[in-house]
Amino acid sequence: MIALIFLQLIVTILHAENWAVLVAGSRDIDNYRHQSDVYRAYKILIKNGFPKDKVITMAFDDIATHVQNPFPGKVFNVPNGPDVYIGSDNIDYKGFDVTASNFYAILEGDSGTTGGKKVLKSTKNDNVFIFFDDHGASGLLLFPQGPYAYAHDIGEHLRSMKKKEMFRNLLFYVESCNSGSLFSDLLLQDNNIYALTSANSLQSSYAVFCGLKKYNAICLSCEFAQNWMSQSDKGNLKKITVKDQYENVVKKTKMSKPCQFGDKDLLQSKLSEFQSYSNSNDYLPEELSIILDQVLNREQNEQQNEQQGERISQTQTHLMYLKQNSTDEEFEIIKNQVNAEQKRSNKLASYLGIDNPNHNDVDKPQNMELYKHSIETYEDQCGRLNEFNLWFNTDILSEAIRIGIEVMVRCSIEGLNWNKLKESYPKFQQARCDYFP
């Protein structure tokens, strides 16, 4: 009997497969870094033995051939580094197929929703690695088309995956502003899910290698993503644990505070259980890896900003890129637009009867369904949020909901509709674009 159980265990291990989902949730050349990070992550996984059919990629795929890319057909993740572009054929969801709906369908193995495109087919014996690189705000991740991905919806789909036995263990990395707000209430200790975020619930995350003339002032990467990928790219994943990676990114990510959530038992897991597939031996010996790390760190410290670029908050990269690529006259027009957006945000706050909140003080509201509904209502009336108003306006709506939460919780979340929203907080019904200047 013991021998039979042992044999079954061996068979289970031998048939266990790793899967990965890599998502760049933005578009346009000024957000180059998000796709660049995802392309490099793909190359790391392939180098470590992942078959292409076990890696699912989402990227708008508009930066390699963008007219303002100084190296047409190529994408770089570090200054003077290798081309990391994976080619359009290796991007499973591109253009306006990069949506929250398709992301959720991928996670749940729902190929009907995706029109037959690749989805997870993982089982209870398999490990799943998810890396999401994007803009975010309190309680949400952006997508270039359609609704955003909200914390409570992400949590619901992860719980559904668990219920459907779609993984043994799941590792989820997120690079975005306010990424710590995505998991704070959703992941429990015993659910076999561990999440690592680039920032806490209140902070911006940071872009790196910004402002370099050689790359047309494009930010090449994000700080947190760069730190975990650098370790995974050259380290021995059979020896490095999830805990090691967490401690590494905490140490090296200087401008924001990476946070961990979920099942801490996974901290003892080796990275090879998530970021490699087969018995790949494409690693440096540990002794050489340590020496290389010391040399690279020393060289990086010795190089000047003009060689390595700058670290810039993701909330400011769009404006920095426009400044570097505009005439003085053009940038004056852009600044006027930024000032106009700020005035509109101030009027929104005033109209709702609150002070314009400090971004570093506003956490996601408890009533996430109402928050989601208020953002969608705002966008329906006033257009999609942009990089000049995203963080201001989501903070304002979040704070308004927080202040009015005692009134709002009288609404039933189930079947929440416009009339119930109007009854609970009428000013959301009235807040149309006609109050803007």
Could you report the per-residue pLDDT of 95-138, keeping only the tens digit for each?
999 999 999 999 999 999 999 999 999 999 999 999 999 999 99
The answer to whether residue 60 scores a pLDDT higher than 90 is yes
What is the third-level CATH fold of 18-280? Rossmann fold (3.40.50)
Report the alpha-carbon distance of residue 193 to residue 140 in Å, rounded. Answer: 19
Measured CA to CA in angstroms, residue 67 lies from 47, 62, 86, 93 at distances of: 30, 10, 19, 22
- Looking at per-residue pLDDT, the higher value among 408 and 53 belongs to 53
Which pLDDT belongs to residue 83?
98
Could you report the per-residue pLDDT of 342-381, keeping only the tens digit for each?
888 888 888 777 887 876 777 788 889 889 988 988 888 7
> pTM of this prediction?
0.86
Report the alpha-carbon distance of residue 290 to residue 292 in Å, rounded. Answer: 5
Point out the least confidently predicted range of 57-61, 78-82, 315-319, 418-422: 418-422
Could you report the per-residue pLDDT of 261-288, keeping only the tens digit for each?
999 999 999 999 999 985 444 444 554 4
* Angle formed at CA 147 by CA 146 and CA 148, multiple of 5 degrees: 120
Q: Mean per-residue pLDDT for 242-258?
A: 96
Question: pLDDT band at residue 414, thresholds of 50, 70 and 90?
Answer: very low
What is the DSSP secondary-structure string of 126-189?
Answer: -EEEEEEES-EETTEE--SSSSPEEHHHHHHHHHHHHHTT--SEEEEEEESTTGGGTTTTT--T
Q: Cα–chain-centroid distance for residue 277?
A: 23
Which residue out of 15, 34, 66, 135 is catalytically annotated? Answer: 135
Which pLDDT belongs to residue 404?
73
Could you report the per-residue pLDDT of 274-325, keeping only the tens digit for each?
999 854 444 445 544 544 455 444 444 444 344 688 989 988 888 888 888 8
Which pLDDT belongs to residue 10?
34
Q: In this structure, which amino acid lies at residue 354?
A: I
Radius of gyration (C-alpha) of the chain in whole angstroms: 22
Q: In this structure, which amino acid lies at residue 230?
A: S
Q: Which residues, 6+ apart, have CB-to-CB distance to 74 below 8 Å? A: 64, 83, 85
Could you report the per-residue pLDDT of 137-188, keeping only the tens digit for each?
999 999 999 999 999 999 999 999 999 999 999 999 999 999 999 997 666 6
69 closest CA partner among 264, 270, 355, 321:
321
Could you report the per-residue pLDDT of 31-49, keeping only the tens digit for each?
999 999 999 999 999 999 9
- On average, the pLDDT of the chain sits at 83
Report the alpha-carbon distance of residue 73 to residue 86 in Å, rounded. Answer: 10
Which residue out of 152, 177, 359, 411 is catalytically annotated? Answer: 177
**In DSSP terms, which residues pair with 24 in a beta bridge?**
133
The answer to whether residue 246 scores a pLDDT higher than 80 is yes
Which pLDDT belongs to residue 374?
86
16 near 127, Cβ under 8 Å?
A: yes
What is the DSSP secondary-structure string of 375-417?
Answer: HHHHHHHH----TTTHHHHHHHHHHHHHHTHHHHTTS-STT--
Q: Which residues, 6+ apart, have CB-to-CB distance to 242 below 8 Å? A: 171, 194, 196, 266, 267, 268, 269, 270, 271, 274
Catalytic site includes residue 177: yes
Which pLDDT belongs to residue 333?
87
Percent of the chain with pLDDT over 70: 80
Domain limits of the chain? 18-280, 326-420
Catalytic site includes residue 222: no
